[in-house]
Every structure is written in C-alpha cells, then in structure tokens.
Structure 1
Amino acid sequence: MDPYRPTSTYRLQLGPGLTLDRAADLVDYLDRLGAGAAYLSPILTAAPGSTHGYDVADPASVSAVLGGDPGRRTLVQRLHGRGMGAVVDIVPNHMSVAAPAANPWWWDVLRSGRDSSCARFFDVDWSAGPLELPVLADDGDGGAGALERLGVADDCLTYEDLRFPLAPGTYSPGDPPDRVHGRQHYRLVSWRRGRHRLSYRRFFDVTGLAAVRVEDPDVFAAAHAEILRWAERGELDGLRVDHPDGLSDPGGYLRRLRAAFDGWIVAEKILEPGEALPASWPVDGTTGYDALREVCGLFVDPAGESALTELAASLGAPTDTAAVQTESRRFAAREPLAPEVRRIAALTGTADREAAEAAVAELLASFGAYRSYLPEGRAVWDRAVERARAARPDLAAVLDAVDETVRADPAGELAVRIQQTSGMVMAKGTEDTAFYRATRFVALNEVGGDPARFGVGPAEFHSCCTRREAARPATMTALSTHDTKRSEDVRARLAVLSEIPEEFAAAVHRWRAACGIGDPALDLLAWQSLVGTWPVSAARMRDYLLKAAREQKERTGWIDGDPGFEAEVAAWPERVLSAEDLCADVAAFAARIRAAGWSNSLGQKLLHLAGPGVPDLYQGSELWDLSLVDPDNRRPVDFTCRQTHLERLERGRRPDVDATGEAKLHVVRTALHLRRGRDLRGYLPLEAAGPAAGHAVAFARGPRRDVVAVATRLPVGLAAAGGWGDTSLPLPGGSGPWTDALTGRVLLPQRTDGYCGPPLADLLDRYPVALLVRD
C-alpha cells in the first residue's frame, strides 16, 4: 500500500470560536470545496486563555476548551466518512509554564526540584542553583517590592493570581511567606531577569515557554503518548511538526517519530533560497515556505527594484537589506537571547567570559541558514565561522577554539546548543526584527524569503518545481499560514507596486507630506500596508502598526516602550482616514492597482494548487483575504458567506473577477477537485511563443501531461504593451480535445500542421488563468 498523502489540506485555526465540534460541522463544506484533509492547529491542552494552542501545558489530553477527546473523535469520524484525512499540528520543542498549575510536569519539577521524576523533561541547568522564575513586577527595585506580596494558601505559595507548589516539609502555619519562598527549589525573580540570565532554555525569548528534552526516549514517549494513541486507533493521518530546529537532534527526533508513526509528516523547516531539507530526515517535506517564496516571487517585477530602493533612500529608510539582517541578528543574540548566549559561552572554556559571549553572539549572527545540522551540514557551519572571523578578527582565538571543539564533537553540548540557538537568532533577528526595519518592499519580507532577492523568474520557478516533484513530491506547499507576515492577497496586490514604482513613490511623497510617521522605515511600511489591505479599519491598522513598531525595537519595543512614539503611531490610521482629500487619494491609488492585484492572486493560487507538492489552503483564503500578521490573520472566518458562494458555483455559475472574491473560490474549488480526481505526477514546463511570452507561466502535470495550468504575470506591463497580441501557448502532444475547466470552453486538439497552440488572447479573455484538461 502506498503511504498516505493528502491531495490537499485546509488549515483550521482552532480556538474558543472554532472548536472541534464546530470544525466537524464544516466537514461537508470542506469536502464540497475539494480539500483532501483538515489540517488542525494544536489540539492538546494549552495554557489557560490560549488563542492559538502552541503553548501546550498538558500533552496527555485534548483541550477541553476545544471540545476534548469526544470532539476530536467526532471530527475524525466525519472526515474519514468523507474520505478525507485528519492532520494535526504538534509542538515537541516546548511547553507552557506560564501558569504552573496547568502543567503537571512543571508543577512536579517545582515541587521536587532535581529529584522530580520530571526533572529531565525540561532543559534546566541544575548546577545554577534554584530554578529562577521571572514573574515578579519590577519598579526598578529588582522585584524586591513584589516579594512583599507573596502569600501562602492551600499548600501553595501565591503571588498575584499565580500559584506555586510547596516542597514537602517546607511550611508550617505561621511561617512568613518570604522564608517559605527561600526553602523552595525555585526562586521568583524580576521579570527583567529573563533578559540577562536564566537557568532553563526557553522558546526564543518567551519565559513562559520552557524547552522540552524530547531527545530523551522516556520524554519522547510521555510527550507523544496521546498523539500515538490516536494513530494506533487509525484516527490520525498526518502530523505537522512545529519548530524542529529548536531540538537537540532534529534528525534523530524525526527518525524516532517516523518509527512510531507511518503517516504523512511535514516539518516546519524554513529553508533559505537554494537550501535543501536534510536528506537524512524521514519526512515528506516542509510546511511550504520555500514554495511560497517561489510562487509569489513570480509576480514581482525585478525592473522595479531600483525605483523602490530610491524611494526608501529618499525617505531615510534602510536600503541595504542584507546589512540590516546581519545587525538585527546581532541584536537578537546580544539582547533577547542573551541568557542562551551566556550559557553557551560558559561551555567554551574561555577564561575571558566577555570575549566568549561576544564571540558566540557574532557566530550565531553569522549563520546564513537557520541551522547547520552537524555533521552533515558542515558547509553551513564553516561559512558561519568564516564570516564571524572576518567580522571580528579580534575574537579569532575564541572562535578558533569553538570551531575546534565543535568539529571534534559535533554531538557535544557546545555544538548542540549553538545549533539550537542559531535558528532562534535567525528567526528573532530576521523575521521579527529586520523585516520591520528594512521596509523597502515588504511583499518580499516573508518567512522563508529574502528581501534582497527581488522576485523569481520563470526559469527559476520551473527549476524549483522540477526539483520538488523529483525529490519531495509530497511536501506541503503554502501561500498563507498562521505565521506569514501578510496574506497571499496582500502580497499579490503589493506585487503590482513593483510594476509602477515611480507612481507609487510619487504617491508616498504626497501622502507623507500630509500625514507621515516620524520613523522613515515604519512610515514606508505603513503606506504599503494601507494600500495592500485597503479598505481597512483604523483599529486593525493601529494594532498592526503598534506591533510593527515594537518588533522594530528601535524607537520603541515590547519591554522598554516609548509611550510618546507609540501614541503617534496609534493615532496615524485615524488621522489618515479622517483626512478627506488624503483618504480619497489613497483610495484612488488602491483602486488603480486592485484589478492587477486580483490577477496576481488568481495566478499565484492556481500555480500553487496545480503545482507539485500538497497545497495547503489557509482558512478563509478561498475568497480574497487581506490579512496582516497575527493576530490579524486569526480573525473569525465567515464560513456562511463562503458556503453561499460555493452553492452558487455548484449550480454552474462562472463568476466575474470582482470584489466578492467568488472568482478565487471558483479557481480553488476547480483545482482542488481536479487534484482529487486526477493523477498529477510529473512536471513539464511550457513556454509561450510570441511578443508577450514573458507574461505567461505554464506547466503540464500528470503521466500523460493531460493537465495544464496557465497564469498571467506582470499584468500592468502586459496591458501597457498592448496585451497578448498573437502570443500563443504550445500544448503537450496527444489525442483528444482540451477543455478549460474554469470556463468550460473546448479547445481544438493539438495538430502538426504548424498550429502553435491556443492564442492566449482567447484562452485568457475571461480569467487571467486557465486550467486545461484533456480527456
């Protein structure tokens, strides 16, 4: 029997507003849409009040808030009853410890210290003394004042609304709380302590998420017992593994997981351009950010780079995106991830601790990929060491010592901790800092992307697709996810700016003269975001820009904020929307690029759904979805509206491309049903012939090359050149007529008498895409 692989997945972000029972009610809609599987955000018991599920607190149970195990079973039964799969997101790297009472493992560690049966479950440095918990308020006194608010109640140490266990025999009635506190295996310390030194490894810089040691077989068994129970009962078809780069041995973990589960497995691995998934990982592929970069990049005009760079420079915003990324990674290593750097520096054996910390920070900031995966990723390691030496020759001796130790023992603690931390530095420095500082053209500032690479040409796109089909045909592909900085439709609209950069630059200069933001990079980000999401409410834009300003970590931040600057940022959306002339100008510009943005959206969606891999559809994105970074992209989805549009399509409607987004739903439904009914193995690039050939991207799928996807790229330039003219698309040879599944139009069979394929002016006269099928 062939291993399971879904034809496609539909991502559902579960939470109090979308429970497992509610998801079960959506199975009929997902089936009629054509989805092959429901792909669920984490469903194990999370921290109280969790809105996303990635802060798992108890891996032994299904979240009661989501509907518990009965809700899970009902959903799986309905999916399997429709021939659909159940794919679940799991989080092996960390657990929530923010509310200790919610996490039975952490509670036992706090109660019994290093003698706890769960002590080895977490990555704790027990040699550092009592476990430090950075939870106390700090008014500049190091948390001393907060200690006065400790209490004892119900056999627990209390602070505000938090409860902490008491070790046996450490409390007698009447004992002062501060003395009871001093007898515990933990110490409550200032929340600021987490910025400098901690004795447990975290998820990035989130002190409420503690790293789990799943490399230990017993820990692995305990953390996965519930998940594997579902698999043994035939109630689990696929797993999405969150953040494997944070594990001590990602490959070893995935091999153990594969031995226990024979379903579909994809790993959330961010690949840099040109990087391949480690060949030793027994998984079906990644979660699709590599495909996202390639597909979306097709619709960016490289000719617009110079003018957009000039615009950023004229405003005073950074233009050297590579330099910004490097400096942002240095910041991440020196500041939010300083505790991890200090712990690594202590392993180098260098007497000069300051030099050791500086060398480790520079090395972590020098990686060109998220992780080196030693020993097989030796080339990535060597390049990082070389870059660090070049940047800091004064630290060469320390770097040489680190290099020698790591080469000698790639599985040793020093090597492992550097590898675990390099991915965190890359993510915090690039995704969560540089992408908000280097805002020249934010359509490129996406997870897995490279803002310095301005677009993807058709030849590169076809090459990537060919490799994907050959190497990882069951990998997930994506355009929007819960982690993307902006939705696929926002990026598609912003891509139009690369075709009219001078016009956009002139508009920005007009707009900012009337209502600008003091920080140039944030100002440029704001105007692009406003145009990309128009029309958008002031509240949504305000929340987004405040998050962006804090992620920049320059004028303000999450920890040390600037209330005055934040007030300016928060007031900006309302100022723009209440200025009648300015608002009208922005609206007119957005209307100018809207149709081209729709064309790009349909093009990238069809190529995504028809291309190699297993396409994932993020919830709600079957219609136009102009969302920004989370939590904006977790807003409730109006499934009733989508079901209404779907019913219209099922009655034979072929919608216009308009503001309803029904045309996108038409493309999605048609392509997903085609994937379920056709063998799409194989990939053949097709080249158009004629004066506008560069504006067409097409490929054939299937063993008999009997499915062809066609998309329009750079639509503004195409229109300016007079349209398709006599450009045509030669189709694969074979007998039988072709039918465009989107329009129902029948094309003549391919001939050998000089006929060069259908004219694109005719083929794409109704939609900017075509999905041809030969029976």
Structure 2
Amino acid sequence: MAAPPCFRVCGSDTVDSVPVPTSTYRLQITDDFTLTDAAAIVPYLARLGVGAVYLSPVLQATTGSTHGYDTTDVTRIDAGRGGERGFEALRAAAEEHGLGVVVDIVPNHLGIEIPHENPAWWDVLRLGQDSGYAHWFDIDWTRPRILLPVLGDDPELRITDGELRYYDNRFPLAPGSWSAGDPVDQVHARQHYELVHWSRGDSELNYRRFFAVTSLAGVRVEDPSVYAATHALPLSWAGDGLAGLRVDHPDGLVDPGGYLDRLAADAPGAWITVEKILEPGEALPAWPVGGTTGYDAMREACGLFVDGAAETEFTALYQGLTADTLTIAQHIEIGKRMVVERLLVAEVRRLAALAPEVPEAAPAIAELAVAFAVYRSYLPGGADRLDAALRLAGERRPGVRPALEALSARLHDPADELARRMQQLSGATMAKGVEDTAFYRYARFVGLNEVGGDPGEFGVGVAEFHALQQARAADWPETMTGLSTHDTKRGEDVRARLAVLAELPQAWAGFASAFLAASEVPNRPFAYFLAQTLAGVGPVDRERLHAYAEKAMREAAQETRWTAVNAGFEDLVHAAIDRAYDNRALSAAWAALDAQLEQPGRSNALGQKLVQLTMPGVPDVYQGTELWEDSLVDPDNRRPVDYAARAELLAGVLGGVPGEGGKGPDLALDAVGEAKLRVTSTVLRLRRDEPELFRGYTPVSASGPAADHLVAYDRGDLVAVATRLPVRLAAAGGWAGTVLDVDGDWTDRLTGRRWTGPIPLADLLGTYPVALLTR
C-alpha cells in the first residue's frame, strides 16, 4: 500500500522501510475530550499540515483517569473515551484526510487502584498463584500473600455481597474461604492478599510497580504469553495500517531491547518511538525503532535561546539570595538517596534477597542506584555505565565496596535476575530522585529544570547545537522531536520567557529580591523557584499558580510532602503568591518585569518553535501549542483546547501573507499567537507537501557585528533562520550591517517576500524574528 501524502518511506540501519509521518500532533484523550471529539478536529489538523494524529493511551483505564497510563483492561478501548466506535471514527477521519494515527502504548504496568476494574488483577487476588493471570504480574511469591497498602487509620473491614469491602474499595474472596458468620478478620487472613496501612507500601510491597506508584503494578511482558495477551489489540491496529506506536517507559522492562525486537517484528509497518530520557551525551541503543519521543531535542532547541554568558552572574545571584551553594549534581545525589532510603525500600530489599550470601547487599545496591549517571545500562551494552557507577558508589561509601565487589560479576550478567532488577531500580531512582525531586529543589534557573534537561549546563551554544543536529540527521533521522509534552514541567513558551531572564539580570534581580523580601517562605530556594514561576507565566489566574505551587512544594519533599502535609509551611507559600497579586508595590514590580519579558519572550518562542519544527527528526506539536501557551506541569498542561478558535484563526493565516507589504503585527500586540500559528502551519505544510526540502543538515553563517545572534541552517534548499538573545541584540543596535551568508534567489515562506543573497538581516527579519527560506 502506498504511503499517504503525510508520510515518507524511510529506511535505515534500525528501521526497515516503514512509512514515517511528516509530523505528529499529540492529543490527550479523556472523558471530556473523547476519540469522537478528536475525530471532529481532524479537518483542522489536516489544514494545519499535520502528518499523523498522536493519541495518549486509549485502552480501558481506571475510572476518572485523566491520562490513560493506568490501563485496566487490555482487551478493549476505553468506553468513557469514545470506545471502539470513537476509535473507528477517528481512524476513518484520519484516512479521509490523509493522516496517520500514532497510539501511545504502556507495556510496563497495569492500573490496579480499583481492583474490580482490572479482570486480570482481580483474578490474581481471588486465586493467588492458581490464577491463570498470576504470571502476568511481577510478584514476589516468596511472601505468602500480596501486600496491598490501601488502609487508612480506621481499618474497619466488612463483607458485603460476597466481597471484602473497605469503604468503597472492593476485594474478591477466595473460593471456600468464608461462610456467613465468620469474623471478618479471619476471612481476611484466608485471602491471597493482605490489606495493610498505606504507609507500609514503600518498605514492604512485594510486587513491582511503576516508580513509587503502588496503584500501577508491573507486568511481565518478557513472558511471550503475557506479551501476546497484552499487545493483541495494539498489534491488530498496526496490522491494519496504523501509522505508529509510541512505547511508554521502556526502561521499566526486564529487557527493553528484546521487547522492541519482538514489537518491531510483530508490527513491521509501524513507526515506533520510545519514551526514553537520554542524559546529555548518552546515545540511544541500536534498537529497531525510529528514535525517542524527543526530550533530547527539547533540551537542545530550548537551550539554544539561553545566554550562556550569564551563568556566573546568575549563580551568584541565586546563591546570594538563597544561601544554596549546592550544585545540581549534589542535589541529585541527595534526591536519589532520599528515594532509595524512603520510597524504594521494598525494591532494594527484593534485590538484596537475591544475594543472601552478601550481608551488606541492601546498602550496596542502594548506593549503586544513587551512583548511576543514566537511567540504566542495557546489558551487555552499557557495561561502562555500570562500571562507572560501581566506582563512584565505592568512592562515596567505602564501607559498601566489599559488597559491591562481591556483587559485581552478577550485576554484569544480563541473564542474572539481580542484574535485570538492578537496571529497573536504577531507572526508578533516577526518575524520582532527579525530575521529581532535585528539579524542584535546585532553583538557579528553573527554565533548564526539564525532563531530559541538564540544569548544570547553562544553555546550548550554536556550535554545539549544529554538531548535535548533524549527528541526529546522520544517526536518527526518524526520531521524534518535541518542545512540550504532557509531562513537561513548564510549557514551551514559559521556558522561552524564562530564557529572557538571562539577558535581564538586573531587572530579574530586582524583582526576585522584592519577592523574597515580601515572602515569609523559610525555604529561600523554593521562594526563588516561585519567583521564577511568576516571571515565566506572568499574571495568570492565581488559582492555577496555587495549584502548581502545591504540587511543586510537595514534589520537592522538604518541608512538606504528599504523605506528610505541613499546613503551616504551605500556608506561607500560598500567602506569598497572593501577595504578588494583592500587594501594590510587588504587583507593580511583577507587571514591570512582565512587560520587559513579553516581546523578547515571544521572539524566543517563535525561534525555538521554528527550530524544533525544522531540525532533523519528526516534529511533534503538543495539543494547543500552535498558539502562545503558558502551561505549567500537569494537570495544568492538560486543560481544554479551544479548537474552534484555532480553526478560525488558521483560516485567516492561510488567507495570505501577514499584512500590507508583508509586514506583520508587532509581537507585543499579537495576544493570541497568530505569528506562532503561521510559523507552525507553514513548516508542517512544507514538511507534508515538499518533504524533499528536509534532507541533511548544513550550518549557515552570518557576517557582521550581530552574527552571534543568529542561528541558521540549510536542510536541503530550505534555510531556517532564527534570532537569539533579542534583548542584547536590541541593545547593540539590532541587525544593522549583518547579512545572511547565502547565494542565489530565495523566498521567505512566512512573508512571501523574495530575496537575493547575501541577505541583510535587518530586512529579512523585519516582519518576524524568524525566516524560512526556500530557493
């Protein structure tokens, strides 16, 4: 079957001739935005230029789930999200408009929060090891009963309708385990599970979970029968022409490489990407996939617009105002150590039980997990990462060195269960200790504290950026590139505004000092963190900031935590936010800073959007981000999107070039983001209609006094041009005397204007701070 117009057929060392979308558009499918609703906006997505609709998980999930990563029934599509009828309507609409469909799948775990909604888990609770589903779940059966940490401080159980009940929680009773009149505690003792206080989960749990989430139970997809049962429906879609599969959290699997080999063989026509967070300098293993879901590209595209020269001044300001002199590396070590000592104790104990002959196995394993610089090794590949972690763990804690030496041979053996589980533990430790803890504690410059980011690297220079793109074009040309996702800590345009702070150190210092002086939050780094959040989003609805602050301070897990709320501290945080709105002097200072950030922030937003959409790879647009967006971490970034308004605005954008004579509106007056929509739709349509323009990668230079403020590159008769560091550029006199070093005749596809090189940048970038040139 020939590829539709929004696809190109690729072939590489890792992917064998599969149709690859020219771009994707991520949609969060929920009970409030169903598959049927998604089908209705396909015409808009087609006009936008999208190559494939990219869906969050759609299998039946826990009632009330807003994300779908807690699948409960692998045999059907979620009824509340549109069901089979909605899915078929979406696929039909996509086919009619020449779009593909990419679906997010979750092989690592299943949702068990409401046991009766998960048929397989319910059967295991009822029958124990005799269940036909017992081998589905990664359960430590050396413990006689499955520990379920679901009880509160008032554990009053009852038997109703042949089930064990705790408030609204239902649990099955084993056949023959009870009769009318039996004391409930005796009936409970006869079950294959044990209901215990929630606080015992982190230390005593005997089933593998997703990170530290006890309501998500690990699945043994390494077992061929489990893989076949849990993948039957997604593989049927792939066999029926589905465009692609996005694999969630492969690092949680026993053997990610083996799993992906099987998936690629079973879905030979599907473009496969993996949600793999690569640390800076880490290479993706040679898996049979198109690449990652784009966190690595996000770090590069956003970092390009940060002024690296400001690092020393920013560090001094942060340390002076907060007294936090720790580096991000030190915060990461502290965060990861907290995780293995508090959250993942049960996992550490389970590993240590595999080596009873090593008395200090548990502390040694915990220290090794803390020492890993990446999520995991992929034995036999990645042994050097394991060796480095072993050395570092021994240096940090000499007392565990003998135990590490005793365990080393087994930890290097990919067939050893100890080695397999160690790799699963190191990934969970990294995720919880870094993104979910350290990134909420270290606040030197929070625009860098992003999934897949490196807060210790103050931006990405132009030369480094070019080298990274040339490597991506050569090694992973079909990888996904992202700028925002459902998991990002801050939306792309919030990060674009925060980048401006590096160019306004004095203005930023003034506001930050005023905010901290007015705040009574005793944790000064967190108060500084809040001040940057206010700068990044501007004066939005305050309830959104209160909700964000609650999540951020509890994730930081210092003065307050999800499981031990400190109301006094939280009151001080909320009072600080209210003061920014209600205190006249502080509110005025915030407004003044906001005015300084607005236009350069939008310049950065357009620049990083153009870069992400045109750089090597397959660009993804997260729902709604074709306009200005000020989202914070989930659930804020999953708010409803007004597609009717976007469709109306797109009609105007597609109606012609911007304004009289190619002049567009002042970005400060472009309140909704017409400029960003124009950039997005222009690039997506070019990728769909003229894919030959996007081949290879060659840096393009500029000549003149402002050359350092430009990033430009040639993708193959298409040159992308973006402005960097707009505040410093304006202060130095703008683009006067600086030209883009190209020859021949060109057309700017954003404005319709024609040029002959070399091109004066003052003229080329007079409409927008970006340009998109084709011969």
Answering whether residue 221 of structure 2 is matched by residue 214 of structure 1, we say: yes
Greater shift in the superposed pair: 512-521 or 96-105 = 512-521
User: How far is the alpha carbon of 1:516 from its aligned partner?
Assistant: 4.6
Q: How far, CA to CA, are the matches of 1:699 and 1:536 in structure 2?
A: 36
Q: 1:183 maps to which residue?
A: 190
1:251 to 228, 248, 257: 257
Greater shift in the superposed pair: 640-649 or 388-397 = 640-649
Q: Structure 2 vs 1, CA of residues 509 and 49 (structure 1 numbering), >3 Å: closer, same or farther?
A: same
Q: How far, CA to CA, are the matches of 1:166 and 1:267 in structure 2?
A: 39
Q: 1:162 maps to which residue?
A: 169
Q: How far, CA to CA, are the matches of 2:564 and 2:325 in structure 1?
A: 23
User: How far is the alpha carbon of 1:411 from its aligned partner?
Assistant: 2.1
Q: 1:62 maps to which residue?
A: 77
User: How far is the alpha carbon of 1:319 from its aligned partner?
Assistant: 4.3
Q: 2:750 maps to which residue?
A: 742
**Cα contact 2:278–2:284 (8 A) shared by 1:** yes
> Would you say how many aligned residue pairs link Structure 1 and Structure 2?
748
Q: How far, CA to CA, are the matches of 2:580 and 2:720 in structure 1?
A: 41
User: How far is the alpha carbon of 1:515 from its aligned partner?
Assistant: 3.1
User: How far is the alpha carbon of 1:724 from its aligned partner?
Assistant: 1.3
User: How far is the alpha carbon of 1:659 from its aligned partner?
Assistant: 1.9
Instruction: Give the residue type in structure 1 aligned to 2:407.
Output: V
Q: 2:348 maps to which residue?
A: 341
Q: How does 1:347-746 map to 2 (within 5 A)?
A: 347-352=354-359, 355-407=360-412, 409-652=413-656, 654=658, 655-656=664-665, 657=667, 658-678=670-690, 679=692, 680-701=694-715, 705-731=716-742, 737-746=745-754
User: How far is the alpha carbon of 1:287 from its aligned partner?
Assistant: 0.3
1:701-760 Cα deviation digits (max 9, x unpaired): 1xxx211100000111111111112111112x5x6x311011110112x5xxxxxx1011
1:115 to 125, 130, 150: 130
User: How far is the alpha carbon of 1:500 from its aligned partner?
Assistant: 1.6
**Cα contact 2:580–2:590 (8 A) shared by 1:** no
User: How far is the alpha carbon of 1:306 from its aligned partner?
Assistant: 1.2
Q: How does 1:262-301 map to 2 (within 5 A)?
A: 262=268, 263-279=270-286, 281-301=287-307
2:103 to 66, 81, 88: 88
The secondary structure found in structure 2 opposite 1:128 is coil
The secondary structure found in structure 1 opposite 2:89 is helix
1:635-678 Cα deviation digits (max 9, x unpaired): 11111221121111122151422222111001001111011112
User: How far is the alpha carbon of 1:348 from its aligned partner?
Assistant: 2.4
Answering whether residue 775 of structure 2 is matched by residue 769 of structure 1, we say: no
1:404-447 Cα deviation digits (max 9, x unpaired): 2222x222100000001111100100000000110110011001
The secondary structure found in structure 1 opposite 2:217 is strand
User: How far is the alpha carbon of 1:535 from its aligned partner?
Assistant: 2.2
Answering whether residue 201 of structure 2 is matched by residue 194 of structure 1, we say: yes
1:349-408 Cα deviation digits (max 9, x unpaired): 3453xx32211111001001111111111111111101001101111100111112222x
Q: 2:309 maps to which residue?
A: 303
Q: How far, CA to CA, are the matches of 1:645 and 1:449 in structure 2?
A: 33
Q: Structure 2 vs 1, CA of residues 156 and 318 (structure 1 numbering), >3 Å: closer, same or farther?
A: farther
User: How far is the alpha carbon of 1:31 from its aligned partner?
Assistant: 0.5
User: How far is the alpha carbon of 1:303 from its aligned partner?
Assistant: 1.2
Q: How far, CA to CA, are the matches of 1:552 and 1:706 in structure 2?
A: 48
Consecutive unaligned residues of structure 2, counting only runs of 5 or more, are: 3-8, 10-17, 659-663
User: How far is the alpha carbon of 1:585 from its aligned partner?
Assistant: 1.1
**Cα contact 1:318–1:437 (8 A) shared by 2:** no
Instruction: Give the residue type in structure 2 aligned to 1:305.
Output: E
The secondary structure found in structure 2 opposite 1:15 is coil
1:165-214 Cα deviation digits (max 9, x unpaired): 11111121222221111111111111011121111011111111100000
RMSD between aligned residues? 1.2
The secondary structure found in structure 1 opposite 2:149 is strand
The secondary structure found in structure 2 opposite 1:387 is helix
Q: 1:203 maps to which residue?
A: 210
1:329 to 325, 331, 336: 336
Q: How far, CA to CA, are the matches of 2:433 and 2:192 in structure 1?
A: 34
Q: How far, CA to CA, are the matches of 2:240 and 2:19 in structure 1?
A: 16
1:7-55 Cα deviation digits (max 9, x unpaired): 0000001101110000000001100111111100000000111111011
Instruction: Give the residue type in structure 1 aligned to 2:93.
Output: R
Q: Which runs of at least 4 in structure 1 moved beyond 3 Å after TM superposition?
A: none
Q: How far, CA to CA, are the matches of 2:326 and 2:334 in structure 1?
A: 13
Instruction: Give the residue type in structure 2 aligned to 1:274.
Output: G
The secondary structure found in structure 1 opposite 2:20 is coil
Consecutive unaligned residues of structure 1, counting only runs of 5 or more, are: 139-144, 751-756
Q: How far, CA to CA, are the matches of 1:381 and 1:316 in structure 2?
A: 34
Q: How far, CA to CA, are the matches of 2:136 and 2:583 in structure 1?
A: 57
The secondary structure found in structure 2 opposite 1:127 is coil
Q: Give the TM-score, by structure 2 length.
A: 0.95
Greater shift in the superposed pair: 643-652 or 243-252 = 643-652
Instruction: Give the residue type in structure 2 aligned to 1:230.
Output: W
User: How far is the alpha carbon of 1:318 from its aligned partner?
Assistant: 4.5
Instruction: Give the residue type in structure 2 aligned to 1:182.
Output: A
The secondary structure found in structure 1 opposite 2:19 is coil
Greater shift in the superposed pair: 317-326 or 42-51 = 317-326
**Cα contact 1:307–1:502 (8 A) shared by 2:** no
Q: 2:40 maps to which residue?
A: 25
User: How far is the alpha carbon of 1:330 from its aligned partner?
Assistant: 1.0
Q: How far, CA to CA, are the matches of 1:643 and 1:130 in structure 2?
A: 55
**Cα contact 1:318–1:324 (8 A) shared by 2:** no
User: How far is the alpha carbon of 1:502 from its aligned partner?
Assistant: 3.0
**Cα contact 1:444–1:451 (8 A) shared by 2:** yes
User: How far is the alpha carbon of 1:129 from its aligned partner?
Assistant: 1.2
Q: How far, CA to CA, are the matches of 2:570 and 2:678 in structure 1?
A: 42
**Cα contact 2:481–2:619 (8 A) shared by 1:** yes
Q: How far, CA to CA, are the matches of 1:439 and 1:339 in structure 2?
A: 31
Q: How far, CA to CA, are the matches of 2:63 and 2:671 in structure 1?
A: 39
**Cα contact 1:304–1:500 (8 A) shared by 2:** no
Q: How far, CA to CA, are the matches of 1:501 and 1:25 in structure 2?
A: 46
**Cα contact 2:272–2:289 (8 A) shared by 1:** yes
1:470-524 Cα deviation digits (max 9, x unpaired): 1111100000000111011000000001112233112211222123522111101
User: How far is the alpha carbon of 1:761 from its aligned partner?
Assistant: 0.9
Q: How far, CA to CA, are the matches of 1:449 and 1:318 in structure 2?
A: 20
Instruction: Give the residue type in structure 2 aligned to 1:52.
Output: H
**Cα contact 1:36–1:84 (8 A) shared by 2:** yes
Q: Give the TM-score, by structure 1 length.
A: 0.95
Instruction: Give the residue type in structure 1 aligned to 2:87.
Output: R
Instruction: Give the residue type in structure 2 aligned to 1:249.
Output: D
The secondary structure found in structure 2 opposite 1:299 is coil
Q: 1:759 maps to which residue?
A: 760
Instruction: Give the residue type in structure 1 aligned to 2:442.
Output: A
Q: How far, CA to CA, are the matches of 1:768 and 1:527 in structure 2?
A: 28
Q: Percent identity?
A: 54
User: How far is the alpha carbon of 1:595 from its aligned partner?
Assistant: 0.6
The secondary structure found in structure 1 opposite 2:369 is helix
Instruction: Give the residue type in structure 2 aligned to 1:682.
Output: G
Q: How far, CA to CA, are the matches of 2:212 and 2:575 in structure 1?
A: 29
**Cα contact 2:579–2:586 (8 A) shared by 1:** no
User: How far is the alpha carbon of 1:76 from its aligned partner?
Assistant: 0.5
